[in-house]
Every structure is written in C-alpha cells, then in structure tokens.
Amino acid sequence: MPRILHTADWQMGRYYSRFDNDDAVALAEARFTAIERLAQLARDERCDAVLVAGDVFDAQTVADRTIRRVFNAMSGFSGPWVMLPGNHDAALAESVWTRARRLNAVPDNVHLALEPGVVDLKAQGLAVLAAPLTQRHTHSDLTENFDHLETSPELLRVGLAHGSVQGLLAEDIDSANPIAADRAAQANLDYLALGDWHGVKQINARTWYSGTPEPERFRNNEAGVALVVDIAGPGAEPDVSRHRIGQFEWVQWREHLSVATDLDELLQRLEELPAPAVVDIRLSGEVDLAGEQKLLHALSVAEARHRSVQCDRSQLALQPTDEDIAELNADGYLGEVIGELREQQENADDEKAATSRDALAILTSLLRDRIEPASGNAGEGQP
C-alpha cells in the first residue's frame, strides 16, 4: 500500500518585515526546521515518496545559500521527493530551479517537475501527474492535461498541481491558476495533491490542500500541517491523516475592554496560551490605572515566553478613576491637565487621541513614581 507525504507552500526565503529583526530571523529559520521535520516525518511514517505541491521558494531571487540550505534540509529522507513549481517559483526559462541545477544543489533523489507530464516512480507504485506553473499567472486549467495522460494500470495515478480550485472563492473574484473541482474524477486520479491554499483544506475524498508546514499568517486555517496519504491500490479511496509540523502557533485577538473582568479574562487567556507563539493583540475600549499596570506586566511576561508579542493599544483609552486621581494627589493644575487628557481621548481624532493617551500614561506614571518612593521610606527607622 503506497504511502505519500503531501506538503506545499514552503515559501523559503520569505522575510517578515513587520517584526523586529530577531523575531524575523527566527521565523525565517523555523521554515528550514519545518523541512527537516517533514523529512523526519516521512522517515518515521515509512512514506514511499514526498510530494511538494508548489511554492517551495517565495521568490525567484532567493539567495544561493537559501537554495542550498533547502536541499540540505531534505537530506533526512532518502526516498524520492517530487517538487513542483508554483506561482512564486514558476518554471520560467531562467528561474530559481535552473539556478539550483547550475549550483549542482539538487540531490539525485529529488525530481523537479518543471514540465507537464508524468514522473514515474515505479518502485514506489506511483505515477505522479505534474502540472507545473511556467508563468506566475495562468487563466486556463493546467490540470486538464491529466485527463489525457496515460499511466501503467498497476500504478496509482496521483496528480500534483498548484492553484485555486474553482467555486471556493466569491463569484466576483477571478482567481488565477484555476483548477476544476472535479479534476480527480475527470482524470481518474487516485489522489490530487494541491498547493496554494495555506491551510489544510479537503475539496473531496481524493482532493486536498496540505497548507504550509510553518504558519506565516494570522488566519485560523489549520496551517502548520502535513498530510500522510495511504492508498490501498488503484481505485481505493485515500486515507488522509494530519500531522503537526509547525513550530509556532500564530494567534490574533481583537478585544474590546469595557469592565475589569474583560481585562482579567484576556490576561488569563494570554497566560494559558501554549508557548512559543506569535501573538498579535489589538485592544479598544478603556482601562483604569490599575488595569493598565496589570496589562503592561502581563505583556512583559508574555514577551519573554513567546516568539513575538505585539499589542496595539492605540484605541484603548486610559481612564483613571476618581480614586486613582486621589491616590496620585493630582489636585489643582495637575488634576486639570489629567481631566483635559481624559477628554481629548474621547473627542479628538485617532492620532490626537493616541497622543493624549500616551501623555496621560507618562504623567500618571511620573506621579506614581513620586508617591511610591515616599511611601516606601515612611517606615525607615521604625522598630
């Protein structure tokens, strides 16, 4: 019974410009680790072959070092790999693939499906029907050729393609690189391994997207997975199992804080979030001084546990209570300034509101620092 490891959308050479440099480097490095984990999984699960359904590289211009590192990372599995060009690394006349060959970086067990046709893996009982992209965007279904490709009857017919299955997107979206939803049935395929959708997605019993093995977006689409596919024989329905590969979970929260319990619940979720993760939080609403201090402390702790924690508080108003102001001894002119800054957060435009919030946070912090040393020294010399 042939067993296949299906993966796609490695996007090697991707750079994460929205993150600090240390985090960006770590996230890029995690993609190489993902390839090593794929090779380990293929070996542990005794897979007969690994199929990579496009977008191995994020761009044609990746560095030579990146190319070499990709193929080095695959060395943990000595069986056949079949790699398909996608829209990011299309098989142009001069491409990242032709450069890889000039560098002599492609191992003997790696089959580059740079032209439409069949990759025969007779020893593994597989005939891989490939539909490589030879340009970034096409508007015809390249998998239509599968209907006419002949293969040995004793071999499994497995399609390998990269593009958008028709009918998944809104009707007014003209998706490039279309693929017919019933291609597996039309071409008598035992399995159709697809790339381009960055999360696991089942189209039908024989047609699946594997998604990217290492998440790179804040989407709840089950990224970070590879698929192990068992097919008993020609015509048998595939048995597909998901296997976690990704190192970092990407979590995005949008929270509106109205009362103290809203903040408490948020901080509880943050404390319970498995590490390491990439966390993006955007807050709106309001918080008092005590809540602000709890939030800042929790974020500081989380930043040490997780790969990246970004928190946008520009829409979160800082609203000291009357008790807060009384404890700060902010009477007279200071009290008036605090009152003005509180009002400006509500009445000003977004930029001025954020400035007012920052000014209020700085002012109250200074006042608190002035009080705390004084209260801390009050008992000195007492028995």
Q: Specify the higher pLDDT residue, 359 or 2.
A: 2
Q: Give 237-287 pLDDT, tens digit per residue.
A: 999 999 999 999 999 999 999 999 999 999 999 999 999 999 999 999 988
Q: Is residue 382 part of a domain?
A: no
DSSP H/E element including 339: helix 332-347
The last residue of a domain, from among 244, 262, 278: 244
Kindly state whether residues 220 and 291 are assigned to the same domain.
Answer: no
Whether residue 180 lies inside any domain: the answer is yes
Which stretches does DSSP call E strand in the chain?
3-7, 49-52, 81-83, 110-112, 117-121, 126-131, 156-162, 164-165, 178-179, 191-195, 201-204, 207-209, 225-230, 239-244, 249-257, 277-287, 308-318
Q: Please give the residue that has the higher pLDDT: either 362 or 233.
A: 233
Q: How confident is the model at residue 22, as a pLDDT?
A: 94
Q: How far apart are CA 336 and CA 213, in angstroms?
A: 55
222 plus 364 within the same structural domain: no
Structural domain contains residue 383: no
Claim to verify: residue 125 and residue 19 sit in the same structural domain: yes
Same domain, 144 and 256: no
Would 289 be classed as within a structural domain?
Answer: yes
What is the DSSP code (8-state) at residue 88? S
* Whether 193 and 259 share a structural domain: no
Q: What is the mean pLDDT of residues 178-201?
A: 96
Residue 262: CA count within 13 A, CB half-sphere: 14
Number of H helices, E strands in the chain: 9, 17
The structural domain count of the chain equals 2
59 within a domain of the structure (yes/no): yes
Same domain, 280 and 216: no
CB 79 within 8 A of CB 106: no
Residues 28, 13, single domain; the answer is yes
Within 10 angstroms of residue 46's Cβ, the number of other Cβ atoms is 9
If asked whether residues 108 and 213 sit together in one domain, one would say yes
Tokens at 149, concatenated: 């490709």
CATH number of the domain bearing residue 232: 3.60.21.10
Residue 318 banded pLDDT, cuts 50, 70, 90: confident
Q: How confident is residue 178, by pLDDT bands cut at 50, 70 and 90?
A: very high
pLDDT of residue 383: 39
Do 195 and 292 reside in the same domain of the chain?
no
**Mean pLDDT over all residues of the chain?**
89
109, part of any domain: yes
Q: Give the three-class secondary structure for 215.
A: coil
- Model pLDDT, residue 378: 47
- Higher-scoring residue by pLDDT: 372, 118: 118
Q: Is the pLDDT of residue 215 over 80?
A: yes
In the prediction, which pLDDT does 358 show? Answer: 72
Claim to verify: residue 179 and residue 136 sit in the same structural domain: yes
- Please say which residue of 192, 225, 244 terminates a domain: 244
- Mean pLDDT (whole number) for 363-377: 59
Domain finish residue from 225, 244, 263: 244
Model confidence at 191, pLDDT cuts 50, 70, 90, reads very high
Residue 351's pLDDT is what? 73
Whole-angstrom distance, CA of residue 260 vs CA of residue 258: 7
pLDDT at 325: 66
78 neighbors 32 (Cβ within 8 angstroms): no
**Is the bond preceding 276 in cis, omega lying within 30 degrees of 0?**
yes
Q: Any idea which of 21-35, 82-96, 196-210, 367-381 has the lowest mean pLDDT?
A: 367-381
pLDDT, tens digit, 9 for 90 and up, residues 63-83: 999 999 999 999 999 999 999
Residue 167 counted as domain residue: yes
pLDDT at residue 382 in the model: 45
**Tens-digit pLDDT profile for residues 142-151:** 999 999 999 9
pLDDT at 380: 47
Instruction: Find the domain containing 314 and state its range.
Output: 249-377
85 shares its domain with 28 = yes
Q: Is residue 215 part of a domain?
A: yes
pTM, 2 dp: 0.85
**Residues 47, 112: one domain?**
yes
More reliable by pLDDT, 380 or 294: 294
